[in-house]
Chain A
Amino acid sequence: MSTAMNFGSKSFKPRPPDKGAFPLDHFGECKAFKEKFMKCLRESNYDNSKCRLQSKDYLECRMDHQLMAKEPLEKLGFKDLMDPPPSQADKDSKP
C-alpha cells in the first residue's frame, strides 16, 4: 500500500467503483452461469475476449435475480453482443 511519506513519490489512491458494490449472491442463484464462464476462461487460456458472451449471461442473471441494478447492456460495454432490435429481426424473418 502507499506508505511512503516523501513528496513526489507515486502513491495509489483507491477509487470507489462506478456503480457501487455487488450484493453478495448468498443463495448461489447465478452459480451456474459463473461456472460456465470459468470453464470458458480455462478453455480459452484465460482470454477475456473469448468469454464475453458468458460474462454477459452472468450479469443478466444477476440483474434478473435482483443482485444487480438493471442497466442497458451498452452501458456495461456489451454493445457488440446485443441482440438486434425486434423490428430488424422481423424484417430478417420475412424475406
Chain B
Amino acid sequence: MRELEPGGSCHLRGAWSSGVITQAPTAVPSRSSIGSARSTVCGSHKPDHLEVTRVSTMFSSSQLDGLTPSQFPNSTPSPARLSRNTQGLVPATVKMISEASQSGDEKSNFIVDGVDVANVTAVGMAFNKNSRPSDIRFQLDDGTGRIECIRWITEKIDTREMDALEDGTYVRVNGHLQSYQGKKQLSAFSVRLVTNFDEVTCHFIECIHFHLQNSKAQSQGAALASQKADSSFSTPVRGASSGHQPALPNDFSMQYNSDGLKSFDKMVLNYLQQPSNIDREMGVHVDELSQQLKVPVAKIKDAIEFLEREGLVYSSIDDYHYKAVEGL
C-alpha cells in the first residue's frame, strides 16, 4: 500500500484550484473588442461607438472589461458567486434581469447566473416615452419582457440623444441595474438607436453566450463545493447506512468540461469515493470501473495513474484494485 506523500496533498490543492482556472470558460470579450466580435459574428455590422468614449470617461476601463473568474486565481469559487469582482457591461434579456436576485452586499448589485452584475446592456423596442424636466423615462420591450428605463437629464447631449427616440423604435440601452420600490429598473447612461438590425440578433446571442459561460463556471464551482462537502462527511458516515451520494452528477462534468481528461478523472474518483466502494476492503477492480463507466480499461488506467500521482487513490490488494484516499 502506498502512503500518501506529504507533497501529494499540496499538489492536490494546487491541482484543484488550477483545475478550476484552466477549465473556466474563455474571457468575455472586453468592451473594445466587442465591436470586432460583432463584425465577425454578424457580418458587416459596425456599431456606433459614439457613446463608448463617453462611457469610458465615466468608468475606469477595468470596470468595462468583461472579467471572468479565470482571471482571478485567488478567488475561491462558491456555489452562489464565483467572483467578488463585478462584471462589466453584461448582455441580458429582460427575462434574465427579472430573475436576478439582489446580492445583498454594500454594492447593492444583482446576481445574474451566479455573477455579480451592476451594469447591463439590453436591446429592444422603446415604448411610452415620458419626458420630464429632470429625466426621460420609457419602457424597454425586448420580446422577453418590459423594463423601465430612466435617462437622467444633466446635459443638453442627454436630451438630444433621447429626442430621436420614438415609440416602437429599436434601441440599445446600457445602464445600471437598480431596484426601486421593489421593481427593477435601468438607470440608462446610454440610449442609442439601432441602425443595423444584425445587432439585434447579435445581442441575444451574446446573452446566450454570457449565460452559458457562467452556468458552466457555476456548475464547476458547485461541483467543487460538493466534493469538499463529500470528503468531510465520508469519515463520520463510514459504517452507517449510506444514502449519501456525491452530489456531482457524472454527466454534468462531462458535458461542461473543456478539459476531458480532468472531468473523466473526476468520474473515476467519484465512483471510488462512493461510500459503498469506500467500504469495500479489497477495493475496486479496474475492470469493474471500465464496465461501470463504460470506457476501455486503458482509459481507466490512465485516470488511475493520474489520481494515484495526485494522492487521491491507492492500490489495495494488487495493481488492479484501487481505493479512494479518505479524509481529504
Q: Do A and B come from one complex?
A: no
